[in-house]
């Protein structure tokens, strides 16, 4: 294979990402849980349900529309997921499911129809072809990227679209994986908002363990 025919299979054998990049999200969660534990120990009757009142008053449609659109351009999803429980656990999960579906489709479209031309021009400037996903390896690449906590969700979507992964494969694998992880954030946030500190910390610890496990598995796959 010539240098101009670099594929994403070759990139899979590159050195793994720095440790700090792989563990920042679990560490962030642990710090968040520590702060929450301190607050609930100092104020056991604390209830912050009134904090996001303005979100509920504004309505679910603007909130979940923001969740669908803003992350396409790099806005972090975690704050929105934590506040989704303002609409109740059921409403938060349902709204999140729909918002993620729209977000994934939008992110893929931006990558394929807007960024791909720039990427191809950049590689062409150096006499190279843009890396692409093998036709039968699309599902594997979607799963590998979705279980990489270090890489933001919108960047994962861009890379998959730029790599030429079929939209059907992209959605069928991306949406369930992303929703399951996002649902844990929604549940954790809803418990915090309703003052159920013990349950919130339990879910938070579970989420941190899952993220650390995914980081370890993904790092092992790069060796």
Q: Which residues of 15-29 are buried (b: 16+ CB within 10 A; e: fewer)?
A: eeeeeeebbebbeeb
Tokens 């679990």 found at: 26
Decide: 22 and 28 in contact? Cβ < 8 Å: no
Please state, in angstroms and rounded to a whole number, the distance separating the CA atoms of residues 104 and 146: 12
Q: C-alpha 216: how far from its chain's center?
A: 17
pLDDT band at 139 (very low <50, low <70, confident <90, very high): confident
Neighbours of 148 (CB within 10 A): 21
Please state, in angstroms and rounded to a whole number, the distance separating the CA atoms of residues 177 and 173: 7
Where are the chain's structural domains?
Answer: 48-221
Query: For residue 13, is pLDDT > 50?
Result: no
List Cα–Cα distances, 14 to 18, 118, 222, 223, in angstroms.
12, 24, 7, 9
Backbone angles phi, psi at 159, to 5 degrees: -65, -40
For residues 34 and 61, which has the higher predicted lDDT (pLDDT)?
61
The pLDDT of residue 9 is 47
Query: For residue 162, is pLDDT > 60?
Result: yes
The pLDDT of residue 11 is 45
- The whole-number average pLDDT for the span 94-110 is 96
- Write the Ramachandran bin of 186: left for phi over 0, alpha for psi from -120 to 50, otherwise beta: alpha
What digits encode the pLDDT tens for the residues 36-83?
Answer: 556 555 555 555 555 556 677 778 899 999 999 999 988 888 888 988
Query: For residue 1, is pLDDT > 60?
Result: no
Decide: 107 and 158 in contact? Cβ < 8 Å: yes
Dihedral sign, CA of 111, 140, 133, 1?
Answer: positive
Which of 32, 57, 109, 76 shows the shortest CA–CA distance to 182? 76
Please state, in angstroms and rounded to a whole number, the distance separating the CA atoms of residues 7 and 29: 35
Task: Enter the pTM of the model.
Answer: 0.69
- The whole-number average pLDDT for the span 98-108 is 96
Please state, in angstroms and rounded to a whole number, the distance separating the CA atoms of residues 122 and 205: 43
């Amino acid at each position: 294979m010539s240098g101009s025919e670099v594929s994403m299979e070759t990139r899979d054998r590159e050195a793994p990402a720095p440790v700090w990049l792989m563990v920042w999200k679990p560490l962030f969660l642990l710090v968040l849980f520590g702060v929450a534990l301190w607050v609930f120990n100092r104020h056991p009757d604390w209830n912050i349900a009134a904090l996001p009142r303005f979100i509920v008053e504004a309505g679910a449609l603007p909130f979940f529309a923001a969740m669908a659109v803003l992350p396409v351009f790099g806005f972090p999803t975690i704050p929105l997921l934590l506040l989704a429980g303002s609409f109740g656990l059921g409403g938060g999960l349902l709204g999140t499911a729909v918002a993620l579906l729209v977000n994934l489709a939008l992110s893929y479209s931006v990558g394929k129809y807007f960024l791909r031309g720039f990427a191809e021009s950049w590689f062409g400037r150096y006499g190279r072809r843009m890396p692409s996903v093998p036709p039968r390896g699309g599902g594997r690449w979607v799963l590998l990227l979705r279980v990489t906590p270090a890489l933001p969700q919108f960047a994962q979507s861009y890379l998959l679209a730029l790599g030429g992964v079929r939209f059907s494969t992209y959605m069928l694998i991306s949406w369930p994986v992303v929703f399951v992880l996002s649902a844990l954030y929604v549940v954790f946030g809803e418990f915090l908002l309703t003052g159920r500190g013990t349950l919130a910390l339990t879910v938070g610890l579970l989420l941190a363990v899952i993220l650390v496990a995914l980081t370890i598995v993904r790092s092992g796959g790069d060796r």
